């Protein structure tokens, strides 16, 4: 009796769901790439001192006023980013769980054993980034707490620039930030290539090389751009206005 080559309905559904999750990861990841590049550019404003950075922060809060209330654009962007973050994390953890569950078969177990270190670092790097984002938001946006005991709260006041400078005068805070940037750079490099692959943009050798090069450029530019302000502050190159 001939064996049918058609996949079972459950297998087809699982494959379609996997494709959907990968596309969801790619699109939500693309939104984050655009955000981190814009955020990196904004962070560089601190190199001009607290006054320039505070003017930039005020400009962000007053975008599209009076059409929107003060801070309205920021809250819309934050809402979009939260939705994208939840979607990205859900898709990632679902695919991760499926990969772990598939190791019950001997053949797939052998494939999983040959999984690259880069792939595993991508997963755990994403977890580390998620934890860092929570810390970063608590420190600079939600609670706005000062980790520098040598700078009194009265000196910081409502100044976003003063808070940034005081925070990055603390070496361990800078070290934590730099470690997060290593994870971010690796995540961006592999994420950009994976997204291009998912969207069908790596069908030729030239396209694959271009996707890898793009991932490398985005990762290096972003990591270096984010690293400049805290290092400049730590070594005393940037001070108050």
Contacts of 156 (CB under 8 A, 6+ apart): 146, 162, 163, 166
| pLDDT tens digits, 149-191 | 999 989 999 999 999 999 999 999 999 999 999 999 999 998 9
> So what's the pLDDT on residue 18?
84
Residue 8 is classified by DSSP as P
* Least confident among 67-81, 107-121, 128-142: 107-121
Q: Which domains does the chain have, with CATH numbers?
A: 10-234 (1.20.1300.10)
**CA atoms 32, 38, 44, 49: torsion sign:** negative
* Structure token pair of residue 94: 């679902």
- Per residue in 85-108, pLDDT tens? 889 989 888 887 777 665 555 544
**Cβ-Cβ contacts under 8 Å for 141 (sequence gap 6 or more):** none
pLDDT at 95 (0 to 100): 84
pLDDT value of position 58: 93
Alpha-carbon distance 66 to 61, whole Å? 11
Separation of alpha carbons 136 and 46, rounded Å:
17
pLDDT at 126: 83
Say if CB 128 and CB 183 are below 8 A apart: yes
Share of the chain above pLDDT 90, in %: 58
196 has pLDDT over 60? yes
DSSP characters for 68-121? S-TTHHHHHHHHHHHHHHHHHHHHHHHHHHHHHHGGGSHHHHHHHHT--HHHHH
Half-sphere exposure of 129 (CA within 13 A, CB side): 21
Query: 């400009």: which residue's tokens?
Result: 59
Contacts of 42 (CB under 8 A, 6+ apart): 56, 60
Q: How confident is the model at residue 15 (pLDDT cuts 50, 70, 90)?
A: low
Percent of the chain with pLDDT over 70: 84
Please tell me the predicted confidence (pLDDT) of residue 3: 46
Distance of CA 132 to the CA centre of its chain: 10
pLDDT score for 173: 97
- Taking each helix axis from N to C end, the angle separating 160-167 and 50-61, rounded to the nearest 10 degrees, works out to 130
Mapping DSSP to helix (H, G, I), strand (E, B) and coil, where does residue 143 land? coil
pLDDT digits (tens, 9 = 90+) for 47-95: 999 999 999 999 999 999 989 899 899 999 989 988 998 899 898 888 8
Q: Provide the CA 134 distance to its chain's centre, in angstroms.
A: 12
Return the structure tokens found at 182. Answer: 């290593």
């Amino acid at each position: 009796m001939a064996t049918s080559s058609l996949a079972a309905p459950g297998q087809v559904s699982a494959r379609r769901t996997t494709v959907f999750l990968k596309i969801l990861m790619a699109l939500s990841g693309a939104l984050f790439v655009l955000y981190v590049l814009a955020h990196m550019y904004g962070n560089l404003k601190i190199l001009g001192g607290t006054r320039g950075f505070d003017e930039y922060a005020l400009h962000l809060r007053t975008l599209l006023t009076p059409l929107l209330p003060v801070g309205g654009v920021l809250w819309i962007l934050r809402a979009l980013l939260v939705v994208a973050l939840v979607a990205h994390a859900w898709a990632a953890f679902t695919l991760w769980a499926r990969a772990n569950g598939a190791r019950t078969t001997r053949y797939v177990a052998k494939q999983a054993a040959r999984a690259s270190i880069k792939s595993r670092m991508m997963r755990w790097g994403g977890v580390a980034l998620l934890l860092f984002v929570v810390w970063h938001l608590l420190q600079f946006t939600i609670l706005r707490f000062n980790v520098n005991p040598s700078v009194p709260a009265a000196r910081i006041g409502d100044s976003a620039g003063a808070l940034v400078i005081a925070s990055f005068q603390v070496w361990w805070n800078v070290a934590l930030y730099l470690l997060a940037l290593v994870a971010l750079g690796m995540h961006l490099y592999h994420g950009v290539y994976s997204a291009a692959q998912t969207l069908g943009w790596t069908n030729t050798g030239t396209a694959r090389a271009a996707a890898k090069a793009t991932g490398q450029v985005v990762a290096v530019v972003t990591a270096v751009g984010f690293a400049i302000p805290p290092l400049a502050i730590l070594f005393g190159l940037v001070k108050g206005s």
